[in-house]
């Protein structure tokens, strides 16, 4: 059977049997096409592929300086493809059974210090409408650990400022209550006074954070001004709105918060997602020992 026909059937399998999204299917097909191009260039036959052939394919990916994370994804796609081929009788054995996935080192997310966050806020001109809005956005992102999508869709009906809470609608439309700090409430209240002067567009009346045109502020706009403020105060880290969420979690853990409480506030379904911050906390503790333990400050 022609490879085009096999790929077409595999696409149907991913859609109907695996119920994958369109983007996921295209990613799988793209990875399979990389494998099929290799097979074609090496004058091999799909049904005769061996483990050695696959290891040669993976070696070529590394030669092209493809990252280990991308190689791991391609290997996963290759395993899925051969599982499909075996189940449908296109091959008699699965050569991917012993194919090893590269071990990925844990990449710890970038975190801002409290001083760096304060420096960014300090250079914002709060006398302008957009300036006060941006101060409030930074403080709410950091105070509540919100995702940028959660911040841009935050509604007035989600604010319980007298009680000190914000209701957040996270992934899968799941709602959670998150405490909001007095500093964030203060910045938010200053902004809300300015917000009354915005030319609010129909349909945006209940949205908290608006653009100067009166429409919901976009992720790109928040990303842009955060990068701009970071550059102005000399922060060299590669940061984004999500950096404030990481900073929130890390500072909470360093301050002694329970990891289960942090999990709830971040809206993580699995504790394993939150546990990355325990690695960051260990690095913090290590640095504290290096800086403050007398054995690290004495030279024999």
- Position 107 scores a pLDDT of 62
Q: What is the pLDDT at residue 290?
A: 56
Task: Specify the pLDDT at position 279.
Answer: 60
Segment 182-210 shows an average pLDDT of 94
pLDDT tens across 51-105, in order?
989 988 887 887 676 777 788 889 999 999 999 999 888 888 999 988 877 766 5
Whether pLDDT at 293 is above 50: no
40, 171, 279, 282: the active-site residue: 171
Active site residue 286: no
Write a three-state SS string for the chain.
CCHHHHHHHHHHHHHHCCCCCHHHHHHHHHHHHHHHHHHHHCCCCHHHCCHHHHHHHHHHHHHCCCCHHHHHHHHHHHHHHHHHHHHCCCCCCCCCCCCCCCCCCCCCCCCCCHHHHHHHHHCCCCCCHHHHHHHHHHHHHHHHCCCHHHHHCCEHHHEECCCCEEEEECHHHCEEEEECCHHHHHHHHHHHHHHCCCCCCCCCCCECCECCCCCECCHHHHHHHHHHHHHHCCCCCCCCHHHHHHHHHHHHHHCCCCHHHHHHHHCCCCHHHHCHHHHHHHHHHHHHHHHHCHHHCCCC
**Catalytic: 147?**
yes
Q: Quick one: pLDDT at residue 114?
A: 93
Look at 184 and 298; give whichever has higher pLDDT: 184
- CATH of the domain spanning 3-87, picked from 1.10.10.10, 1.10.150.130, 3.40.50.800, 3.40.50.10240: 1.10.150.130
Active site residue 40: no
Query: Catalytic: 242?
Result: yes
Average pLDDT over residues 164-180: 86
Q: Which two tokens stand for residue 11?
A: 């696409």
Tens of pLDDT along 106-127? 566 788 999 999 999 999 999 9
Catalytic residue from among 147, 195, 246, 251: 147
CA dihedral of 12, 18, 22, 26, whole degrees rounded to 10: -70
108 and 276 in contact (C-beta within 8 Å)? yes
Instruction: Give residue limits of the domains in the chain.
Output: 3-87, 114-291
Q: Which CATH superfamily is domain 114-291 in?
A: Intergrase catalytic core (1.10.443.10)
Q: Token pair for residue 297?
A: 């400050």
Percent of the chain with pLDDT over 70: 87
* Residue 245 bears catalytic tag: yes
Name beta bridge partners: 159.
166
pLDDT of residue 300: 44
* Interval 220-275: pLDDT, tens: 899 999 999 999 999 998 888 989 998 998 888 888 878 788 888 888 777 666 66
The pLDDT of residue 169? 86
Residue 3 has pLDDT above 90, yes or no: no
Active site residue 293: no
Residue 20 pLDDT exceeds 50: yes
What is the pLDDT, as a whole number, of residue 232?
Answer: 96
**Alpha carbon distance 164, 159 (integer Å):** 9
Query: Exactly one of 10, 13, 28, 277 is catalytic; which is it?
Result: 277
Q: Are 208 and 185 in contact (CB under 8 A)?
A: no
Burial pattern 79-106, b for ≥16 Cβ within 10 A else e, equals bbbbebbbeeebbeebbbeebeeeeeee
Residue 204 confidence (pLDDT): 94
pTM over 0.75? The answer is: no
Query: For residues 78 and 279, which has the higher predicted lDDT (pLDDT)?
Result: 78
pLDDT of residue 90: 87
Per-residue pLDDT, averaged over 204-209, amounts to 96
Kindly name the residue from 133, 245, 246, 251 that is annotated as catalytic. 245
């Amino acid at each position: 059977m022609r490879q085009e026909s096999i790929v077409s059937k595999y696409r149907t399998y991913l859609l109907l049997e695996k119920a994958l999204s369109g983007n996921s299917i295209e990613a799988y097909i793209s990875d399979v096409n990389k494998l099929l191009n290799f097979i074609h260039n090496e004058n091999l036959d799909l049904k005769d592929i061996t483990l050695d052939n696959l290891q040669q394919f993976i070696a070529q990916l590394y030669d092209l300086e493809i990252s280990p994370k991308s190689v791991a994804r391609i290997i996963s796609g290759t395993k899925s493809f051969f599982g499909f081929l075996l189940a449908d009788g296109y091959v008699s054995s699965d050569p991917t059974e012993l194919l090893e996935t590269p071990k990925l080192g844990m990449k710890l997310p970038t975190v801002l210090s409290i001083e760096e966050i304060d420096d960014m806020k300090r250079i914002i001109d709060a006398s302008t409408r957009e300036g006060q809005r941006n101060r409030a956005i930074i403080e709410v992102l950091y105070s509540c650990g919100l995702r940028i999508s959660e911040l841009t869709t935050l509604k007035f009906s989600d604010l319980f400022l007298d009680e000190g809470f914000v209701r957040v609608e996270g992934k899968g439309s799941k709602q959670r209550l998150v405490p909001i700090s007095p500093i964030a409430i203060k910045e938010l209240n200053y902004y809300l006074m300015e917000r009354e002067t915005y030319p609010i567009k129909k349909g945006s009346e209940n949205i908290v954070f608006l653009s100067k045109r009166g429409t919901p502020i976009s992720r790109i706009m928040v990303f842009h001004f955060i990068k701009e403020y970071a550059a102005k105060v000399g922060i060299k880290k590669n940061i984004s709105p999500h950096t404030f969420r990481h900073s929130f979690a890390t500072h909470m853990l360093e301050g002694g918060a329970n990891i289960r409480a942090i999990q709830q506030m971040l809206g993580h379904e699995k504790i394993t997602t939150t546990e990355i911050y325990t690695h960051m906390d260990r690095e913090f503790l290590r640095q504290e020992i290096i800086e403050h333990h007398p054995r690290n400050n004495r030279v024999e």
